[in-house]
Amino acid sequence: LNKPAGMVVHPAAGTENNTLVNALLHHCQGRLSGVGGVARPGIVHRLDQFTSGLMVVAKDDPTHVSLSQQFAGRQVEKIYHAVLCGVITPPQGEMHAAIARHPNHRKVMTVLSGGRSAHTDYATLETWEVACLVEARLHTGRTHQVRVHFKYLGFPLLGDATYGKRPNASLAQLLGWSAPRQMLHAARLGFLH
């Protein structure tokens, strides 16, 4: 499915209704995999609330187990498109930087030695005067991986209030426009069917 930006994937504290799970339960008339539990039927992986794009959902338990194993075994192709603040140099590259929870801000992730390994490749697709569009290929699946890695390189995502507040404020002042959300889209998802 193609998740719209702004939709929460599953119910949590403060967001009980209008989630992707609510929509799936209605659409599939309750026939979804139970592996994820009552709160997350069919949910194999997640996207942030304000990230749009492709997700795979399991309708039955054997499919859920197979897909979960593919994600855990890094057999799933995950390609994102992101608009960055600034024009990244070099125009293509590779990041190997471990990610962990920030020691002082528990809802934020950061590059931290001793964290879980994280690997992202990127290539610039288009450049503008003050921003660029990149394609990022994830070899691992860490929380906020794309956002954290590009912040670490000094080019946070356009519209990302968590990981790029100052660069986004500067661009908003320069352009007279603010992005309504982080400019991140799950563009391609490859798995064994």
The answer to whether the beta carbons of residues 39 and 13 sit under 8 Å apart is: no
Please identify which of the residues 48, 60, 61, 160 carries the catalytic annotation: 48
Q: For the chain, how many residues are written?
A: 193
> Is the bond into 62 cis (omega within 30 degrees of 0)?
no
* Amino acid letter, 100: A
Which residue, 145, 109, 166, is CA-closest to 136?
A: 145
Give kind and range of the element (H or E) at residue 27. helix 20-27
Decide if 61 is catalytic. Answer: no
CA 98 to chain centre: 16
The answer to whether the beta carbons of residues 36 and 24 sit under 8 Å apart is: no
Sheet strands (E) in the chain: 2-3, 52-54, 77-85, 92-96, 99-101, 109-111, 119-127, 131-138, 184-190
Mind telling me the catalytic residues?
A: 48
